[in-house]
Amino acid sequence: MLDKAAILEQLRGVLDPEIGISIVDLNMVRDIGINEDGIVQVKIALTVQHCPMAKTLQADVEKAVGKLDGVKSVNVETTAMSKKELEELRVKLTARGTNSQISQSGQNTSTAGPGINKLGKRGIRNIIAIVSGKGGVGKSFVTSMLATELRRKGYEVGVLDADLTGPSIAKVFGLSGKPYKAPNGLIVPAKSKTGIKVMSINLVLDDPTMPVIWRGPIVNSVIRQLYWDVDWGDVHYLLVDLPPGTSDSPLTVFQSLPVDGVIVVSSPQDLAAMIVAKAVNMAKKMEAPIMGLVENMSYFQCPGCGEKVEIFGQSNGSRLAAQLDIPYLGGVPLDPEIARLSDQGRIEEYSSPVFENITAELRQKAVRQVEQLTQGLPIAWTVEPQHK
Amino acid sequence: MLDKAAILEQLRGVLDPEIGISIVDLNMVRDIGINEDGIVQVKIALTVQHCPMAKTLQADVEKAVGKLDGVKSVNVETTAMSKKELEELRVKLTARGTNSQISQSGQNTSTAGPGINKLGKRGIRNIIAIVSGKGGVGKSFVTSMLATELRRKGYEVGVLDADLTGPSIAKVFGLSGKPYKAPNGLIVPAKSKTGIKVMSINLVLDDPTMPVIWRGPIVNSVIRQLYWDVDWGDVHYLLVDLPPGTSDSPLTVFQSLPVDGVIVVSSPQDLAAMIVAKAVNMAKKMEAPIMGLVENMSYFQCPGCGEKVEIFGQSNGSRLAAQLDIPYLGGVPLDPEIARLSDQGRIEEYSSPVFENITAELRQKAVRQVEQLTQGLPIAWTVEPQHK
Shared domain for A353 and A255, answered yes or no, is: yes
pLDDT (tens digit, 9 = 90+) per residue, A157-175?
999 999 999 999 999 999 9
Interface subset of A 172-231, CB within 8 angstroms of B:
172, 208-217, 219
Domain limit, last residue, from B94, B113, B146: B94
Shared domain for B142 and B83, answered yes or no, is: no
Q: How many domains does chain A have?
A: 2
pLDDT (tens digit, 9 = 90+) per residue, A186-215?
999 999 999 999 999 999 998 889 999 888
Would residue A387 count as lying in a domain? no
A131 contact B CB<8A: no
Between CA A92 and CA A95 the distance in angstroms is 5
Would residue B200 count as lying in a domain? yes
Query: Which DSSP letter does residue B307 get?
Result: -
Task: Provide the Cα torsion A249, A255, A260, A264; round to 10°.
Answer: 40
Residue B53 phi/psi, 5-degree rounding, is: -90, 0
Reported as type and span, the H/E element at residue A268 is: none
Between CA B131 and CA B140 the distance in angstroms is 9
Looking at residue B134, which CATH number applies to its domain? 3.40.50.300
Q: Please provide the average confidence, as pLDDT, over all residues in chain B.
A: 85
Between CA B100 and CA B65 the distance in angstroms is 27
Q: Which of A319, A330, A383 is nearest to A353 (CA)?
A: A330
Helix (H, G, I), strand (E, B) or coil at A71: coil
Is the pLDDT at B89 greater than 80? The verdict is: no
pLDDT (tens digit, 9 = 90+) per residue, B168-226?
999 999 999 889 988 888 999 999 999 999 999 999 998 889 999 888 888 988 999 99
Nearest-CA residue of chain B relative to A216? Answer: B216
Between CA B98 and CA B113 the distance in angstroms is 13
Shared domain for A33 and A150, answered yes or no, is: no
Between CA A71 and CA A65 the distance in angstroms is 7
Partners of residue B187 on adjacent β-strands: B181, B230
Shared domain for B201 and B61, answered yes or no, is: no
Looking at residue B86, which CATH number applies to its domain? 3.30.300.130
Q: Which of the four pLDDT bands, split at 50, 70 and 90, describes residue B384?
A: low
Shared domain for A254 and A348, answered yes or no, is: yes
Would residue A315 count as lying in a domain? yes
Helix (H, G, I), strand (E, B) or coil at B195: coil
Would residue A107 count as lying in a domain? no
Shared domain for B190 and B332, answered yes or no, is: yes
Q: Are A329 and A278 in contact (CB under 8 A)?
A: no
Would residue A109 count as lying in a domain? no
Return the exposure string of A190-212: e unless at least 16 CB atoms fall within 10 Å of the residue's CB, then b: bebeeebbbbbbbbbbeebbebb
What's the domain range around B29? Answer: 4-94
Give the nearest partner residue to A247 out of B219, B251, B305, using CB atoms. B219
Shared domain for A77 and A224, answered yes or no, is: no
Is the pLDDT at B76 greater than 60? The verdict is: yes
- Predicted ipTM of the assembly: 0.71
Question: Directed axis angle between helix A83-95 and helix A353-373, to 10°?
Answer: 170
Closest approach of B249 to chain A, Cα-based (Å): 9
Q: Which of the four pLDDT bands, split at 50, 70 and 90, describes residue A379?
A: very low
Is the pLDDT at A99 greater than 50? The verdict is: no
Q: Which of A341, A345, A267 is nearest to A300 (CA)?
A: A267
Give the nearest partner residue to B304 out of A211, A251, A307, using CB atoms. A307
Chain A residues close to B141, C-beta within 8 Å: none
Between CA B335 and CA B301 the distance in angstroms is 8
Between CA A99 and CA A20 the distance in angstroms is 12
Shared domain for B204 and B329, answered yes or no, is: yes
pLDDT (tens digit, 9 = 90+) per residue, B292-310?
999 999 999 999 899 999 9
Would residue B110 count as lying in a domain? no
Question: Directed axis angle between helix A353-373 and helix A139-152, to 10°?
Answer: 70
Q: Are A162 and A253 in contact (CB under 8 A)?
A: yes
Between CA B118 and CA B27 the distance in angstroms is 21
Query: Which DSSP letter does residue B196 get?
Result: -
Percent of chain B with pLDDT over 70: 86
pLDDT (tens digit, 9 = 90+) per residue, B309-352?
999 999 999 999 999 999 999 999 999 999 999 999 999 999 99
Q: Which of B275, B337, B344 to probe by mutation at the A interface, max A CB count within 10 Å?
A: B275
Q: Which position has the higher pLDDT, A19 or A313?
A: A313
Shared domain for A152 and A267, answered yes or no, is: yes
Residues A118, A121, A127, A129, CA torsion sign: negative
Q: Which amino acid is at A270?
A: D
Residues B297, B303, B309, B315, CA torsion sign: positive
Interface subset of B 244-283, CB within 8 angstroms of A:
244-249, 251, 267-271, 274-275, 277-279, 281-282
Shared domain for A88 and A161, answered yes or no, is: no
Task: State the pLDDT at residue A26.
Answer: 79
Instruction: Indicate the length of chain B as a whole number.
Output: 388
pLDDT (tens digit, 9 = 90+) per residue, B8-56?
888 888 877 666 678 887 888 888 888 888 899 999 888 765 555 677 7
Shared domain for B83 and B175, answered yes or no, is: no
- Give the residue-averaged pLDDT of A320-345: 95
Helix (H, G, I), strand (E, B) or coil at B330: strand
